[in-house]
C-alpha cells in the first residue's frame, strides 16, 4: 500500500521502487528471478509494473499474494481518480473551463513526451520507424474498434514469418532451480487462465446489455496494451469516447489528472468508469472499469508463466514482438494527431502553453506531477 501511495514517475520508476523494496531490502527474491519476471511482464500485453507487482506477490504468497499486491498498488490512485470524476460529474462548475483546458494541453505534452521516450527503445532504427509510420497511417484512416487488434495481429504474423528484427538471445538469466520450483504455476491452471482470457473476446459476439458492453470495452483495451501505459489512451479513446459514453473534453481532462496521482496509469479507467454518461457510472462504474481493464493482465500473466522459460528464447516470438511494438507506437502517434492535437489546439496560445509544458518535461526534466498541477492552475488563471 505504501508503494501505491508513493510510486510516482511511471512504469520505469515503479520497477525501480519494486526492486529496491523486494529484492534489495526484503530479499523476497533474487535479481535473476526479478529480471525474469520483468522480461515476462514486458513480453505480454498489459501494465508491466502492475503485472510485475502481481508476480512478486505470487512468488511470495501464491494467488492471494498476487491479488493483495495488485489491490495495494492500484487502490489509492483508483479511489482518487474515481472521486475526482464523481465530484466533477456532480458539479461540473466547480472546475473552470480554463482548468480543464489546461489539463488537456498538459495531457498533450505528456503523451508526446512519452511517445519520444518509447520511440528510442521500440522504434530506434529505420525499419521500425517506417513500420510505425505505416501503422499510424492505417490507424488514422481506419478508425474502428477492430483496427488495433487487426493491425497488431497482421504485423506480428508477418514479422514472425519473415523473422524480422533482432533475434539473438537477450533475455534475462533464468531463475535458479529453487526459485523455479517455488514459482511454478500448474499447467492446468495456466490453460484455464488462457481459456478465460480468450473468452473475453468471444463474449463480445454474444454481449447483450449495457453493463456487459462496458465491461468488454475496458477488457479489450486492457488486452492490447504493449509498450507502456500511455498506449491505453488511444484504445480507451476508441472504445469509450467512440461509443459516446464519455465526452472527449472529460476524457482528456481525466487523462491529465491521471498524471498527478501515484500508481499505475491504468487507473485512468477508474475515472472513465465513474464518468460514464450512459450505463453504470459513479463508484460502481469505476469498480467495473477497473476490474475489467486489469483482468486480462492477471489472466495472461498466470496463463503464460509456466511456459515462460521456453518462450523467452523463441526467435519467432521475439520477431513478432519486434514488429508489434513498432505498430503500437504507430497507434499512439495516430492518436496524438487525431483526436488529441486536432481537438485540443485552437490557437497560438494553446501551442505556446503545450510547448512550454513539453519543454519542462523533456528539457527541464521537471516532475510530471508538478507540470500537471501547475498546468491546471495556470489554465484556470489565463485560459
Q: Please tell me which of 38-52, 217-231, 262-276, 364-378 the model is most confident about, judged by mean pLDDT.
A: 262-276
pLDDT of residue 14: 75
Packing angle, helices 315-335 and 126-141, rounded to 10: 50
Within a 10 A sphere around the Cβ of 6, how many other Cβ atoms? 11
Poorest-pLDDT segment among 2-11, 174-183, 235-244, 312-321: 174-183
Q: Is 125 helix (H, G, I), strand (E, B) or coil?
A: coil
Residue 115 has pLDDT above 80, yes or no: yes
CA angle 340, 341, 347 (to 5 degrees): 130
Structural domain count, the chain: 1
C-alpha distances out from residue 370 to 60, 223, 262, 321, 376, Å: 35, 31, 13, 34, 10
- Predicted local confidence at residue 352, as pLDDT: 95
In terms of pLDDT, which residue wins out, 288 or 18? 288
The reported pLDDT for the residue numbered 177 is 45
What b/e sequence results for 297-314 when a residue is b if at least 16 CB atoms lie within 10 Å of its CB, and e otherwise? bbbbbbbbbbebeebbee
**Least-confidence region, from 18-27, 211-220, 300-309, 353-362:** 18-27
For the segment 107-129, the average pLDDT, to the nearest whole number, is: 85
pLDDT at 320 (0 to 100): 85
Residues 66 and 79: beta-carbon distance below 8 Å = no
Phi, psi of 47 (to 5 degrees): -75, 110
Q: Give residue 325's pLDDT.
A: 82
- Top-ranked range on mean pLDDT: pick from 70-79, 114-123, 223-232: 70-79
The conformation of residue 265, written as its DSSP 8-state character, comes to G
**pLDDT of 252 higher than 60:** yes
Band of the pLDDT at 18, cuts 50, 70, 90?
confident
**Mean pLDDT (whole number) for 303-321:** 82
Higher pLDDT: 267 or 18? It is: 267
Q: Is 127 exposed, middle or buried (0-12, 13-18, 19+ CB in 10 A)?
A: middle
168 secondary structure, DSSP code: S
CA distance 155 to 326: 9
For the chain, the average pLDDT equals: 83
Task: Categorize the per-residue pLDDT at 357 as very low, low, confident or very high, splitting at 50, 70 and 90.
Answer: very high
Check residue 282 and give left, alpha or beta (phi > 0: left; psi -120 to 50: alpha).
Answer: left
Residue range(s) defining the domain that contains residue 338: 2-382
Within 10 angstroms of residue 163's Cβ, the number of other Cβ atoms is 13
- Grid look-up 498533450 returns 108
**Distant-in-sequence contacts of 183-187, Cβ < 8 A, 24+ apart:** 183/33, 183/55, 183/58, 183/59, 183/305, 184/306, 185/58, 185/302, 185/305, 185/306, 186/306, 187/306
Do the beta carbons of residue 12 and residue 18 sit within 8 Å?
Answer: no
Instruction: Compare 207 and 151 and report the one with higher pLDDT.
Output: 151
Q: Give 74-100 pLDDT, tens digit per residue.
A: 999 999 999 999 988 766 555 556 877
Select, from the ranges 135-149, 182-196, 266-280, the one with the highest average predicted confidence (pLDDT).
266-280
CA distances from 6 to 22, 72, 273, 292 (A): 15, 12, 24, 24
Read off the pLDDT of residues 128-186 as tens digits, 9 standing for 90 and up.
999 999 999 998 888 776 787 788 889 989 998 887 665 444 444 444 444 444 455 67
Q: Say how many residues make up the chain.
A: 383
Amino acid at each position: 500500500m505504501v508503494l501505491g501511495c508513493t510510486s510516482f514517475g511511471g512504469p520505469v520508476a515503479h520497477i525501480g521502487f519494486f526492486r529496491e523494496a523486494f529484492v534489495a531490502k526484503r530479499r523476497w527474491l533474487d535479481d535473476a528471478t526479478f529480471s525474469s519476471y520483468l522480461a515476462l511482464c514486458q513480453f505480454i500485453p498489459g501494465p508491466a509494473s502492475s503485472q510485475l507487482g502481481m508476480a512478486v506477490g505470487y512468488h511470495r504468497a501464491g494467488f492471494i499474494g498476487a491479488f493483495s499486491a495488485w489491490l495495494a498498488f492500484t487502490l489509492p490512485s483508483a479511489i482518487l481518480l474515481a472521486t475526482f470524476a464523481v465530484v466533477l460529474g456532480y458539479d461540473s462548475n466547480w472546475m473552470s473551463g480554463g482548468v480543464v483546458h489546461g489539463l488537456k494541453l498538459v495531457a498533450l505534452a505528456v503523451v508526446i513526451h512519452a511517445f519520444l521516450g518509447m520511440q528510442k527503445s521500440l522504434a530506434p532504427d529505420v525499419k521500425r520507424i517506417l513500420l510505425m509510420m505505416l501503422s499510424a497511417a492505417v490507424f488514422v484512416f481506419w478508425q474502428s474498434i477492430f483496427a488495433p487488434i487487426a493491425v497488431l495481429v497482421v504485423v506480428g504474423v508477418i514479422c514472425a514469418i519473415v523473422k524480422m528484427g533482432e533475434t539473438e538471445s537477450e533475455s534475462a538469466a533464468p531463475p535458479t532451480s529453487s526459485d523455479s520450483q517455488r514459482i511454478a504455476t500448474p499447467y492446468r491452471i495456466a490453460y484455464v487462465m488462457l481459456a478465460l482470457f480468450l473468452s473475453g473476446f468471444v463474449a463480445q459476439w454474444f454481449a447483450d446489455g449495457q453493463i456487459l458492453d462496458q465491461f468488454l470495452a475496458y477488457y479489450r483495451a486492457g488486452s492490447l496494451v504493449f509498450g507502456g501505459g500511455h498506449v491505453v489512451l488511444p484504445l480507451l479513446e476508441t472504445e469509450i469516447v467512440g461509443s459516446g459514453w464519455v465526452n472527449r473534453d472529460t476524457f482528456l481532462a481525466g487523462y491529465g489528472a491521471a498524471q498527478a496521482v501515484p500508481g499505475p496509469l491504468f487507473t485512468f479507467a477508474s475515472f472513465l468508469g465513474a464518468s460514464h454518461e450512459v450505463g453504470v457510472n459513479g463508484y460502481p462504474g469505476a469498480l467495473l472499469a477497473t476490474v475489467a481493464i486489469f483482468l486480462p493482465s492477471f489472466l495472461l500473466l498466470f496463463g503464460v508463466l509456466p511456459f515462460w522459460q521456453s518462450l523467452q528464447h523463441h526467435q519467432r516470438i521475439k520477431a513478432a514482438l519486434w514488429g508489434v511494438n513498432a505498430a503500437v507506437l504507430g497507434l499512439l502517434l495516430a492518436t496524438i494527431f487525431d483526436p488529441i492535437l486536432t481537438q485540443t489546439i485552437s490557437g497560438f496560445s494553446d501551442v505556446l502553453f503545450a510547448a512550454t509544458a513539453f519543454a519542462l518535461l523533456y528539457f527541464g526534466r521537471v516532475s510530471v506531477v508538478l507540470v500537471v498541477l501547475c498546468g491546471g492552475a495556470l489554465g484556470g488563471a489565463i485560459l
